[in-house]
Amino acid sequence: MKQARPEAYRIKSFEEYQEKYKESIENPEGFWASVAENFHWKKPWDRVLEWDFEKPEVKWFLNAKMNISENCLDRHLENRGNKLALIWEPNDPKERFVRFTYRELYHEVNRFANVLKKNGIGKGDRVCLYMPMIPELMIATLACARIGAVHSIVFAGFSSTALADRIQDASARMVITSDGMFRGAKEIPVKRIVDEALESCDSVEHVIVVQRTRWAVDMKEGRDKWYHVEAREVSDECPAEEMDSEDMLFILYTSGSTGKPKGVVHSCGGYMVYTAYTFENVFQYEESDIFWCTADIGWITGHSYIVYGPLLNGATTLMFEGVPTWPDPGRFWQIVDKFGVNQFYTAPTAIRALMAYGEEHLYEYSLNSLKVLGTVGEPINKEAWDWYHIHVGRNRCPIVDTWWQTETGGIMISGLGGLSPMKATYAGYPLPGVLPKLLDEQGQEIREAEREGYLVIARPWPSILRTTYGDHERCKLTYFSHFKGYYFTGDGAKRDKNGMYRIIGRVDDVINVSGHRFGTAEIENAINKNPHVIESAVTGYPHPIKGQGIYAYVVLRDSEEDEENIRAAIRETLIKEIGPIAKPDLIQFVPGLPKTRSGKIMRRILRKIAEGEPGKLGDTSTLLDPAVVEEIVKGALV
Ligand code: WT7
């Protein structure tokens, strides 16, 4: 079996980056073939790439056969069998941490794969994972990949209703969960949430329950099985299923501008090559380093840079169950020192939250092991960037500001740790293979520097989404129809005279709260379920820690009910429909919404008011009832 040789595709200088970039654009097929050669393929490809952004249809490494779990595990056994693959740090610092070598992780994944098979799961079946950040989450993910089952991981902060929607949309045959979950000071009854969700899901035949908290839970006869009991009955060797490069690897749900989250679909071969390539080069990982990404595996960041990217390169990846502020705001730095973390990858919202607690929480830690710092999920403001650079990086660690999306699978625009020039608030240059462009309203390319435009990508890269599950038309409409011939990101950006990109933020009806995406329509639908509500409109507004907060304008029916009670009830509905992270921060009751004569809500106006700029509303003459705007401005909560 071909052993992993990440050094074969490692970029070592900025000049080399520039050469590789040029090569990747002039000859993408040759370029990606030379990267892909370094993986283990059961059968080589006939063609590197076929694409058509009209349909849209993108295929990489056509007819090649492979298995990504084999590339993550089996391939390292000869040279890295005793190297640490995974370090797991529990929520509570007093509890013992756990480590897995590549050989140990290999056996655990094989064992889990056999449990899946024993319970009737095979290639192509969808398996939903709803779990805390425990090693079994990573193990189960890789076990699905090993037997060709499609994983759909749902972040365990989502409500039972949101979980049920996702299980139904994917017609999942199995759910993998745990008895309970510890997160900071909170204890969450995960299994009970799954039980609630399953009341409305017919597709699920079995629930595998991993023991974490040892709480007593209801086990439904015939349906629910304890993992530790099942595991005793199977072997820890399981052959890796032969997958086509374009077979589905996973579905991951994300919010868009319509009410219903969509299942972004990634396939095996391209995702493997691209996540491995970007991990190696963005973080400049060296063989004995310890890499820590603080995301949850339930988001794309965790999929690509806790699980697949690091393991494909034979790296040691750290996984943390808890939160940055518990038991105290020094928890991240204590973990960095405890294990000697070398690359640290987190979100601006976490940096801002810790910044608010003050730098005294960093004083007792050396942080000497750190070499590269990363951020992801939302634009990082200058203050947070400086604080990260000075207090965490002690002025000696490069920061990589990595722009990408669930749909892109891997990092698209970013510095390469220590090699590229850095500029605070700029993500920087596109990675090899990525051809971004800025377009104006009419779809004309903007060539001058310093002008803001719509960020699009002109060519396919290996880990571009392939479809949205069960609804290809939606994929086409959302990403490939706004500007013909381009993938539309939904972001606005600008470019400086040196070609560095700065991401401004979403230009569609998506709000980015603490690095998590919500569609305004999705939140409005939930608010409108309240019987006192006639209609509502939601926008984002600048929030010092979350980046964007949720501002809801709500029109009520005539009623005797106390407004504070209605506010509380609306928040409760959001917790029930989506989860606590989607709770509106501000709820303003308004007499009506600003609408055009054709009945369309003028969101631009509401956004300006929420941003605290009622003086910049622009033209309101086309409004049906301009007086409504004055009322809203008078009662504004910012
Ligand atoms: C949206 C994607 C992919 C990682 C987690 C979020 C915003 C992401 C950056 C960055 C500015 C960023 C964009 C993007 N975003 N990274 N470095 N600078 N904005 O994934 O939930 O799919 O959200 O997050 O607006 O479109 P996601």
Please report the atom of ligand 1 found closest to the CA of residue 414.
17
Mean pLDDT in residue range 243-249: 98
In order of 96, 187, 553, 556, the CA distances from 589 in angstroms are: 50, 34, 6, 7
Dist. CA 585 → ligand 1 center (Å): 21
Report how far ligand 1's centroid is from the alpha carbon of 347 (Å). Answer: 10
SS3 of residue 622 by DSSP: coil
Cβ < 6 A, ligand 1 pocket = 254, 299-301, 376-379, 401-406, 427, 489-491, 503, 505-506, 512, 515, 517
- How confident is the model at residue 48, as a pLDDT? 98
Question: Residue type for 316, please?
Answer: T
- Helix residue ranges, H only, 405-562: 472-479, 520-527
Pocket test for ligand 1, best of 254, 404, 414 (most atoms within 8 A of CB): 404
pLDDT digits (tens, 9 = 90+) for 344-385: 999 999 999 999 999 999 999 999 999 999 999 999 999 999
Residue 228 CA to ligand 1 centre (angstroms): 37
pLDDT digits (tens, 9 = 90+) for 442-467: 999 999 999 999 999 999 999 999 99
Rounded to an integer, what distance in angstroms lies between the CA atom of residue 579 and that of residue 156?
A: 9
Q: Which atom of ligand 1 is nearest to the CA of 408?
A: 3
User: CB of 251 within 8 A of CB of 234?
Assistant: no
CA of 376 to the centre of ligand 1 (A): 6
Report CA(374)–ligand 1 centroid distance (Å).
13
Average pLDDT over every residue of 133-137 = 98
Ligand 1 nearest-atom number relative to CA 515: 6
Mean predicted lDDT score pLDDT of the chain: 97
Query: Per-residue pLDDT averaged across 20-30, rounded?
Result: 98
Helix (H) or strand (E) holding 80: helix 77-80
Q: Which residue, judged by its Cα, is nearest atom 8 of ligand 1?
A: 377
Q: What is the pLDDT of residues 504-536, one digit of tens each?
A: 999 999 999 999 999 999 999 999 999 999 999
563-580 pLDDT, tens digit per residue, is 999 999 999 999 999 999
C-alpha pair distances (Å), 93 with each of 181, 327, 575: 15, 8, 29
* Closest ligand 1 atom number to CA of residue 490: 26
d(CA 505, ligand 1 centre) in Å = 8
Q: How far, in Å, is the centroid of ligand 1 from the Cα of 548?
A: 13
Cα–Cα nearest to 437, from 478, 374, 484: 484
CA of residue 393 to ligand 1 center, whole Å: 23
Nearest ligand 1 atom, CA 503 = 11
| Residue among 503, 510, 546 to mutate when testing ligand 1 (max atoms within 8 A of CB) | 503
Longest dimension (CA), the chain: 74
Can you give the pLDDT at residue 618? 83
Cβ neighbour number for residue 193 with a 10 Å cutoff: 21
Confidence of residue 260 (pLDDT cuts 50, 70, 90): confident
Locate the DSSP E strands across 462-515. Answer: 467-468, 487-495, 501-506, 510-513
> Is a pLDDT exceeding 90 seen at residue 471?
yes
Report the C-alpha gap between 516 and 578 in whole angstroms. Answer: 12
Dump strand ranges (E) for 377-483.
399-402, 436-439, 453-457, 467-468
Percent share of the chain, pLDDT over 70: 100
Residues 6+ apart with CB under 8 A from 596: 602, 622, 623, 624
The DSSP H or E segment spanning 166 is helix 160-170
Tell me the CA–centroid distance for residue 409 and ligand 1, in Å: 11
- Closest Cα to atom 5, ligand 1: which residue? 377
**Does pLDDT of 101 surpass 90?**
yes
Peptide bond into 327 cis (omega under 30): yes
Mutate to test the pocket of ligand 1, among 254, 381, 388, 403 (most ligand atoms within 8 A of CB): 403
Give the nearest ligand 1 atom to 375 CA: 17
Nearest alpha-carbon partner for 244 in 262, 267, 210: 267
- Burial profile 12-51: b = 16 or more Cβ within 10 angstroms, e = fewer: eeeeebeebbeebbeebeebbbebbebbbbeeebeebbee
Q: List, in sequence order, every residue forming a beta bridge with 244; answer none if it has no partner.
A: 65
Please report the pLDDT score of residue 624 as a whole number: 87
| Banded pLDDT at 621 (limits 50, 70, 90) | confident
Residue nearest to atom 14 of ligand 1 (CA): 405
Of 512, 518, 546, 548, best ligand 1 pocket probe by most atoms within 8 Å of the beta carbon: 512
What is the per-residue pLDDT across 279-304, written as a single tens digit (0 to 9) for each? 999 999 999 999 999 999 999 999 99
User: Cα-atom radius of gyration of the chain, to the nearest Å?
Assistant: 24
Q: Tens digits of per-residue pLDDT, 55-76?
A: 999 999 999 999 999 999 999 9
Distance 403 CA to ligand 1 centre (A): 6
In the chain, where the domains are located: 450-506, 513-634
CA 405 to ligand 1 centroid distance, Å:
5
Per-residue pLDDT at 559? 83
Atom of ligand 1 nearest to the CA of 406: 22
CATH, domain 513-634, list 3.40.1710.10, 3.30.300.30, 3.30.70.270, 3.40.50.970: 3.30.300.30
pLDDT of residue 148: 98
The angle, 0 to 180 degrees and rounded to 10, between the axes of the packed helices 14-26 and 28-36 is: 120
For ligand 1, atom 1: residue with the closest CA: 405
